[in-house]
Amino acid sequence: MDKKDYDRDPEKNEDSTVTSTATSARSSTVPVDAFPPGMTGDPDTTVAAALSPSTEEVPGSSEGNLSRSGPPVSPDKRAVSIRSETRTAVPVPRAERRGLLARFAIIAEVEEPKDYTRRTKWIITFIVAVAGAAAPMGSGILLPALHDVTLAFSTTPTVTNLNIALYMLSMSIFPLWWSSFSETLGRRTIYLTSFALFLLFNILSAVSTNIAMFIVMRILSGGAAASVQAVGAGTIADLWEVKERGRAMGMFYLGPLCGPLLSPIIGGALSQGLGWRSSMWFLVFYGGVLILGLLFFLPETLKQKIDVVAEAEKDAVQETAGADSASLTLSRTRSRPSLYRTPTRQSVQITTRKYAAILRRCFLDPLRIILYLRFPAVAITVYYASITFGTLYALNISVQQTFSRPPYNFSTTVVGLLYIPNSLGYVLASIFGGRWVDAIMLREARKAGRYGEDGKLQFRPEDRMKENAWMAGVMFPAALVWYGWTAEKGVHWIVPMIANFFFGIGSMLVFAMATTMLTEFMPNKSSHGIAVNNFVRNIFSCVGGIVAEPLIVAIGDGWLFTGLGVVAFGSGIAVILAMKRCGARWRVRMDREMGT
């Protein structure tokens, strides 16, 4: 095994002492309820710490950061201790850390990311959440200034709206490749590369000379920032145990949802004071700050990367051997066999097939992620999240269009402030919704008596879709109808904004629930589940952004959002009932087909 991938599986590093100690620890039954939040509750918790000749910060110690120094010790003679509360993280030596510019990371990479201290986990979660705000911030920052962009490039509102709609479309397509590359190159490399591109394309957006250049650069910047949508949830799954993942995912989604909260305010103020291009320069500054934060505070969290080159070469050798088996047999029967021709031909074939396989894996295989939609549990979860996301972007376009015109006639800055209510709903649902759904998971597991051999509760993804889903499924469709008719009739602005607040709560409950369920339906390929979710939901948001303006002109806000509310309500009820009745059977079938 390559030294850099040294013992990513902790079972390969434990000697008979660890095994016998863990076995004896299992003999004592420890109630799961006795452990406070954040503890694993695992009665056979063992700690194996490898000593290193250098002094290294250990971020995973429960007592705080420890310094270790001493002579090198072989892996089979590690010091072993028993600790009933938590395991100590084993850091990877600085020279062996993975990822782009990994030696500059202040937080050390460890062999098991779930062994980080809670403080370190929250630091990494915060960094990823802030990075996750970049993509939605890029779409929302121009919403108050769409009229200014239309005048600057002498075009129509529908064409100008394409910069938002196609930006969202790029956020649906690019994560397919970001997700695939992250399993090969690691999370850290993808974060740093994508945000370097985000910085570049926003500079080009700021200096665009015509609407075509502007839209193209916006598409590319959206695709670059979309890496977090695919890789971010995978990072959370790398760090957090299932029973805490709902809260962590909710906090992570605060980033992508604070983007829509802050960006219209920032964009409105900058556009009114300095012109709409200043909002693009703000994104350049934001991208630069993110690169520094990711460089120093984000270690690699993927336990084991896929070696595309090695797998491609192995496949090429097998294909070549199969194709040439007959000719090789014939060659051995000759009285004077050729010594060089056959090996040379095989070498050329292997090399050709290897590079073809690498290209296929890098550029074509990511499209196979879409095939996960063949699993009903994935398909209906993605569908529900996508319906919700599509209505969100139709609502965003409506706020800008409706309140910048009579009878409201609000300025660009005030229109930006009108995006605050629904974003406050996002924040509230993120803080309390994650804890709520984690409590539901614990309740359902205890009620079903699902305990493993080690005494730990066994959780099921479908348990996340309970009373929280029912509340969300009623709340945000009703809020859409409420907003549509009050906005169309010119009721005081506070009334439709209250509706948007409740829309924010309901829609966020759906987003967080769907995202967490997908990471648990596909535990070994969590980033793939998020990528297919982003692919479908951003197509819906693209369509919503394109059709909203013409539909508002044609039938008005009232009928538009009544129709969307009816579709959202019907979809939610159907998905919840289907998951309740068939979710367990779908999950078992999915696990069997995926070999998990």
Residue 306 pLDDT: 63
- Between 86 and 407, the more confident residue is 407
Residue 245 pLDDT: 84
- Rounded CA gap, 167 and 381, in Å? 24
Whether residue 180 contacts residue 367, with contact meaning beta carbons closer than 8 Å, is answered with no
Asked if the peptide bond before residue 376 counts as cis, ω within 30 degrees of 0, the response is no
Residue 138 pLDDT: 92
- Which of 417-431, 441-455, 560-574 reaches the highest mean pLDDT? 560-574
pLDDT tens digit sequence for 229-255 = 878 888 998 999 888 887 888 788 778
To the nearest whole percent, how much of the chain has pLDDT over 70? 78
Among 162, 168, 135, which residue's Cα sits nearest to residue 146? 162
DSSP letters, 353-416, are HHHHHHHIIIIIGGGGGGGGGGSHHHHHHHHHHHHHHHHHHHHHHHHHHHHTSTTT---HHHHH
- Between 436 and 524, the more confident residue is 436
Residue 34 pLDDT: 36
Whether residue 218 contacts residue 160, with contact meaning beta carbons closer than 8 Å, is answered with no
Among 522, 512, 504, 520, which residue's Cα sits nearest to residue 437? 512
Average confidence score pLDDT of the chain = 80
Model confidence at 47: pLDDT above 70: no
Residue 76 pLDDT: 40
Residue 307 pLDDT: 60
- Which of 192-196, 361-365, 447-451 reaches the highest mean pLDDT? 192-196
- Between 437 and 348, the more confident residue is 437
Q: Beta 56-58 vs 46-49: how paired, if at all? A: unpaired
pLDDT tens digit sequence for 65-78 = 333 333 444 444 33
Tokens encoding 590:
């999915």
- Between 38 and 557, the more confident residue is 557
Residue 86 pLDDT: 60
Banded model confidence at residue 12, pLDDT cuts 50, 70, 90 = very low
Residue 549 pLDDT: 87
- Rounded CA gap, 558 and 556, in Å? 6
What number is the average pLDDT over the span 440-463?
86
Model confidence at 393: pLDDT above 80: yes
Q: Any idea which of 293-302, 416-425, 565-574 has the lowest mean pLDDT?
A: 416-425
pTM beyond 0.85, yes or no: no
Banded model confidence at residue 377, pLDDT cuts 50, 70, 90 = very high
Question: Which helix (H) or strand (E) is 49 found in, with range?
Answer: strand 46-49
